[in-house]
C-alpha cells in the first residue's frame, strides 16, 4: 500500500447566513443528492452533517454505483459533496439537535450553538449500526467500523457478527490484516449479495460460524472471548478473539424527526409518500431513514430519493411564493 | 511484539501529491497564506526511517509550492536533536523511544503531529498551516469561549489511522483548541508509526481521544464528536483533575 496524502476532505470556510430555503440534515448520498438538485433549482441550501459521506465512510470499496466501476466509499462521499457545492450549496460540519416549526418557517439549532431558519427541511439522517445488546459490548476491542480499525488487528483473531452485506464487507476488509476472521451468523443462510459471499468463501482465513447467537463478549478490559449458543442444539461455545466487529444491521436515525412530530412506521423509519413528503408540510425525507424504495438501502436508491425530495421541495416553495 | 501493521512506506524523492492536489494547494496557499510558517520536523532514521524520509519529502514538496512555508529538519537521534525534543517536551513516547517523524509549528508548538499526517489527516495539516499563517482559527463562538477558560495544562492525544475518515475531525478540533489556548496541547498520533505508545493506551479503535494531565490519562473515549461535545469532555476532565488535586493538596 502506498502512502497517500489526500485533500479530499478540504472544506471551504465561510460565514453562513441565518436564513435558508432548504436545510438538509445529513451529508450522505441522499443528503448531497438532494442538495445538488436544490442547488440547481437555485434554492439557498445548507447541509448540516456530522461527517461528510455518512455511512459511505465505512465502505472500503463501492462497486455498485452506476457509471463508477470502483471507488472507495469516503471518496465517493466527497465527490457527492463537491458536486453539490459547485451549485452553491453550503456545508456545516455540526450536529442538528433541535428543529421547530413556527408557521411556515423552521428553526434549526446545532450542537455547536448555531441557529438557522429555513422554509424546508429534508431529513437525510441515514442510519447507524445496531448494537448487539449483550454483556461485554463496552469492552475495548468492539468495533463498528472495519474500514477505520481493521489495520489495528494485524495478525489477530477477530469475529464479525452478522450475515448481511456489511458483515461480509467487514470480514473481507479484516481478512487482509487479521490472522483469522470468524464470521458469526445467527442463520444458516446469508442475506448478503452472492458476489460477496463467494469472495468470502474463497478466502482461506475467513471461517463461517453459522446458526449461532452471541450471548456474551468476555474479557478483562479488552475482548478475549466471544460466547455463542447454537440455535438448534443449544450447545455453548467460546471462541478466542481479540476483536469483535458488529454488523447486525442498521437502525434509522430518527430522533430529531420524531421530536418534530414526523410520523414514523413500525420500524422507526420516516413515513414518506412517493414524493418523499412526510406528514408535516415543508418536511421531506430521503435515504436510509425513510420507508421508501422498498427499504432497499443502496447508494443509488438514496441518491434517487434525495433528488425526488429536492424536486418536491422546490415545487412546495414555488407554491408558497 | 509489534501489534500494528506498518505501511511499507515508499521513500520517493518527490511526487507524493497528485498533480491536481498540488495545483489546488498552490492556489489555496496563494489565496490564504499571510505570514511565514515555520515547521520543525524531528526525524528518526533509526526506528522510523521510511516514514522520516517520507516526512522530509512531503515537507519539501509543500515548500516547493509556496515560499512562505519554511522547515527545519532535526535529527532526533543526535545529541542536539534529542535536547531540542526535550525542550519542546516532545519525548512522550517513553514506551518505544520513537523520536520521529514529529512535526511542530514554531509559532504554535502546542500543535503536534506524532507520525505522518497521511491519508485523511493531510487536510488537518494544511488547515494548521493556513491557520498559523493567518493567525486565525474558526471555531463556534460558544466553543471558543469555553476553550479560552481552560487554565490547566492538558494534552489531548488523538490516535488515528490514515484510513480513518472520521479521525481528521478530531485532530482538527484538538489543534484548533491548542491554537486558541496554549494551556492545551493537541497531539495527533499515527498508530502505525508509534505502535508502543498506541499499545500503552490500548488503542483498538480510532479515533481514540485521550485527555492527559501530567502524563496520565484522565478521560478517554472512542469516536468522533462535534466540537461542543469535545469541549464537554475537556470540562469533565478538568473537574476530575481539580477534584483530585484538591484531595491531595
Alpha helices in chain B (DSSP H): 19-32, 49-65, 79-87, 122-134, 141-148, 167-180, 195-200, 227-248
Q: pLDDT tens digit string along A246-260? A: 999 889 999 999 999
Question: How many Å lie between the alpha carbon of B83 and the closest alpha carbon of chain A?
Answer: 30
pLDDT higher at A291 or A8: A291
Q: Which fold has domain B19-248?
A: Glutaredoxin (3.40.30)
The answer to whether the CB of B72 falls within 8 A of the CB of B169 is no
Mean pLDDT of B16-37: 91
Nearest CA in chain A to B2: A154
Cis ω before B101 (30° cut-off from 0): yes
Cis ω before B207 (30° cut-off from 0): yes
Closest residue to B10, CB basis, from A3, A53, A74? A3
Decide if A148 and B165 are in contact by the 8 Å CB cutoff.
yes
Question: Which DSSP category does A76 fall into?
Answer: H
Q: Is B226 on the interface with A (CB under 8 A)?
A: yes
With 0-12 CB in 10 A as exposed, 13-18 as middle and 19+ as buried, what is A67?
exposed
Residues of A in contact with B143 (CB under 8 A): 112-113
The answer, yes or no, to whether residue B8 has pLDDT greater than 80, is no
Q: pLDDT tens digit string along A277-286? A: 999 999 999 9
Q: pLDDT tens digit string along A97-120? A: 999 999 999 999 999 999 999 999
Is A145 in the active site?
yes
E strand or H helix that includes residue A38: helix A29-40
Q: Is B5 on the interface with A (CB under 8 A)?
A: yes
Pairing status of strand A212-218 against strand A225-230:
antiparallel
Q: pLDDT tens digit string along B54-100? A: 999 999 999 999 999 999 999 999 999 999 999 999 988 888 999 99
Query: Got the DSSP string for B71-92?
Result: EEEEETTSHHHHHHHHHTT---
Q: Which of B128, B163, B164, B198 to mutate to test the interface with A (most CBs of A within 10 A)?
A: B163
Model confidence at A294, in pLDDT bands (50, 70, 90)?
confident
Decide if A152 and B202 are in contact by the 8 Å CB cutoff.
no
- What's the confidence (pLDDT) of residue B229? 96
Question: What 3-state class would DSSP assign to B132?
Answer: helix
Question: What 3-state class would DSSP assign to B48?
Answer: coil
How far apart, in whole angstroms, are the C-alpha atoms of residue A260 and residue A208?
44
How far apart, in whole angstroms, are the C-alpha atoms of residue B170 and residue A48?
18
Model confidence at A288, in pLDDT bands (50, 70, 90)?
very high
Average pLDDT for chain A:
92
Nearest CA in chain A to B144: A112
Q: What percent of chain A has pLDDT over 70?
A: 96
Question: How many Å lie between the alpha carbon of B79 and the closest alpha carbon of chain A?
Answer: 30
Mean pLDDT of B100-113: 96
Nearest C-alpha neighbor of A25 from the set A117, A106, A126, A123: A123
Nearest C-alpha neighbor of A238 from the set A184, A201, A189: A184
pLDDT higher at B14 or B193: B193
Q: pLDDT tens digit string along A193-232? A: 999 999 999 999 999 999 999 999 999 988 999 999 999 9
Q: Please identify which of the residues A64, A98, A104, A148 carries the catalytic annotation.
A: A148
- What's the confidence (pLDDT) of residue B247? 64
Q: Which domains does chain A have, with CATH numbers?
A: 19-129+250-320 (3.50.50.60), 142-246 (3.50.50.60)
Decide if B204 and A243 are in contact by the 8 Å CB cutoff.
yes
Contacts of B89 (CB under 8 A, 6+ apart): none
Nearest CA in chain A to B163: A148
Model confidence at B7, in pLDDT bands (50, 70, 90)?
very low
Closest residue to B120, CB basis, from A3, A9, A13? A9
pLDDT higher at A74 or B8: A74
Mean pLDDT of B178-185: 96
How far apart, in whole angstroms, are the C-alpha atoms of residue B68 and residue B37?
6
Is the complex ipTM higher than 0.85?
no
Closest residue to B58, CB basis, from A5, A94, A151? A5
Is the four-CA dihedral B109, B115, B119, B120 of positive or negative sign? negative
Q: Scanning the structure block, which residue is given the C-alpha cell 421530536?
A: A259
pLDDT higher at A21 or A129: A21
Q: Scanning the structure block, which residue is given the C-alpha cell 461455545?
A: A237
How far apart, in whole angstroms, are the C-alpha atoms of residue B111 and residue B104?
6
Beta-carbon pairs below 8 A across chains A and B:
135
Is A148 in the active site?
yes
The answer, yes or no, to whether residue A3 has pLDDT greater than 60, is no
Nearest CA in chain B to A150: B205
Is the four-CA dihedral B201, B205, B207, B210 of positive or negative sign? negative
Q: pLDDT tens digit string along A116-146? A: 999 999 999 999 889 999 999 988 899 988 8
Average pLDDT for chain B:
90
Decide if A148 and B166 are in contact by the 8 Å CB cutoff.
yes
The answer to whether the CB of A171 falls within 8 A of the CB of A261 is no
Provide the chain B residues 142-181 that lie in CB contact (below 8 A) with chain A: 142-143, 161-169
Residues of B in contact with A143 (CB under 8 A): 204-205
Q: What residue ranges do the domains of chain B occupy? A: 19-248
Say how many residues make up chain B. 249
Question: How many Å lie between the alpha carbon of B68 and the closest alpha carbon of chain A?
Answer: 20
How far apart, in whole angstroms, are the C-alpha atoms of residue A254 and residue A270?
7
Q: pLDDT tens digit string along B203-240? A: 988 999 999 999 899 999 999 999 999 999 999 999 99
Q: Is B40 on the interface with A (CB under 8 A)?
A: no
How far apart, in whole angstroms, are the C-alpha atoms of residue A215 and residue A227?
5
The answer to whether the CB of A250 falls within 8 A of the CB of A127 is yes
Question: CB atoms < 10 A from the CB of A226, how many?
Answer: 28
Nearest C-alpha neighbor of A53 from the set A81, A25, A34: A81
Question: Which DSSP category does A275 fall into?
Answer: T
Amino acid at each position: 500500500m502506498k502512502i497517500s496524502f489526500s485533500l479530499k476532505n478540504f472544506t471551504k470556510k465561510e460565514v453562513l447566513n441565518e436564513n435558508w430555503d432548504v436545510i438538509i440534515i445529513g451529508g450522505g448520498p441522499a443528503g448531497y443528492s438532494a442538495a445538488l438538485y436544490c442547488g440547481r433549482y437555485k434554492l439557498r441550501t445548507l447541509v448540516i452533517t456530522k461527517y461528510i459521506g455518512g455511512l459511505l465512510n465505512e465502505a472500503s470499496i463501492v462497486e455498485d454505483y452506476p457509471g463508477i466501476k470502483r471507488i472507495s466509499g469516503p471518496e465517493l462521499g466527497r465527490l457527492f459533496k463537491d458536486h453539490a457545492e459547485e451549485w452553491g450549496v453550503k456545508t456545516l460540519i455540526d450536529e442538528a439537535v433541535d428543529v421547530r416549526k413556527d408557521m411556515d418557517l423552521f428553526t434549526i439549532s446545532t450542537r455547536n450553538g448555531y441557529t438557522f431558519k429555513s422554509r424546508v427541511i429534508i431529513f437525510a439522517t441515514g442510519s447507524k449500526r445496531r448494537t448487539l445488546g449483550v454483556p461485554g459490548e463496552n469492552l475495548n476491542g468492539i468495533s463498528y467500523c472495519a474500514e477505520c480499525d481493521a489495520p489495528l488487528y494485524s495478525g489477530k483473531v477477530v469475529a464479525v457478527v452478522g450475515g448481511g452485506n456489511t458483515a461480509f464487507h467487514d470480514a473481507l476488509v479484516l481478512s487482509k490484516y487479521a490472522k483469522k476472521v470468524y464470521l458469526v451468523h445467527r442463520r444458516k443462510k446469508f442475506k448478503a449479495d452472492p458476489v460477496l459471499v463467494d469472495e468470502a468463501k474463497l478466502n482461506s482465513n475467513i471461517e463461517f460460524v453459522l446458526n449461532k447467537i452471541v450471548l456474551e463478549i468476555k474479557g478483562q478490559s479488552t475482548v478475549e472471548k466471544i460466547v455463542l449458543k447454537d440455535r438448534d442444539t443449544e450447545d455453548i461455545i467460546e471462541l478466542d478473539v481479540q476483536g469483535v466487529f458488529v454488523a447486525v444491521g442498521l437502525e434509522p436515525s430518527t430522533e430529531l424527526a420524531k421530536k418534530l412530530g414526523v410520523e414514523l412506521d413500525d420500524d422507526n423509519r420516516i413515513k414518506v409518500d412517493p414524493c418523499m413528503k412526510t406528514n408535516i408540510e415543508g418536511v421531506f425525507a430521503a435515504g436510509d431513514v425513510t420507508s421508501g424504495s422498498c427499504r432497499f438501502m443502496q447508494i443509488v436508491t438514496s441518491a434517487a430519493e434525495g433528488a425526488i425530495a429536492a424536486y418536491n421541495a422546490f415545487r412546495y416553495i414555488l407554491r408558497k411564493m | 511484539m509489534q501489534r500494528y501493521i506498518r505501511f511499507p512506506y515508499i521513500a520517493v524523492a518527490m511526487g507524493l501529491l497528485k498533480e491536481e492536489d498540488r495545483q489546488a494547494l498552490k492556489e489555496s496557499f496563494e489565496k490564504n497564506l499571510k505570514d511565514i510558517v515555520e515547521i520543525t520536523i524531528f526525524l528518526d532514521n533509526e526506528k522510523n526511517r521510511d516514514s522520516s524520509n517520507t516526512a522530509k519529502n512531503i515537507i519539501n514538496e509543500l515548500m516547493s509550492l509556496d515560499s512562505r512555508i519554511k522547515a527545519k529538519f532535526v535529527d532526533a537521534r543526535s545529541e542536539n536533536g534529542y535536547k531540542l525534543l526535550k525542550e519542546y517536551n516532545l519525548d512522550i513516547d517513553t514506551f518505544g523511544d520513537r523520536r520521529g517523524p514529529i512535526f511542530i509549528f514554531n509559532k504554535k508548538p502546542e500543535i503536534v503531529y506524532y507520525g505522518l499526517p497521511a491519508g485523511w489527516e493531510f487536510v488537518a495539516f494544511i488547515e494548521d498551516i493556513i491557520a498559523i499563517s493567518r493567525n486565525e482559527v474558526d471555531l463556534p463562538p460558544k466553543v471558543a469561549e469555553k476553550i479560552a477558560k481552560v487554565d490547566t495544562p492538558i494534552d489531548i492525544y488523538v490516535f488515528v489511522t490514515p484510513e480513518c475518515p472520521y479521525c481528521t475531525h478530531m485532530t482538527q478540533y484538538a489543534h484548533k483548541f491548542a491554537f486558541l489556548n496554549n494551556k492545551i496541547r493537541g497531539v495527533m498520533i499515527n498508530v502505525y508509526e508509534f505502535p508502543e505508545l498506541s499499545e500503552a493506551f490500548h488503542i483498538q479503535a480510532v479515533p481514540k481521544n485521550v485527555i492527559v494531565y501530567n502524563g496520565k490519562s484522565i478521560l478517554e473515549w472512542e469516536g468522533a464528536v462535534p466540537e461542543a461535545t469535545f469541549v464537554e469532555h475537556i470540562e469533565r476532565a478538568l473537574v476530575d483533575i481539580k477534584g483530585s488535586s484538591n484531595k491531595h493538596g
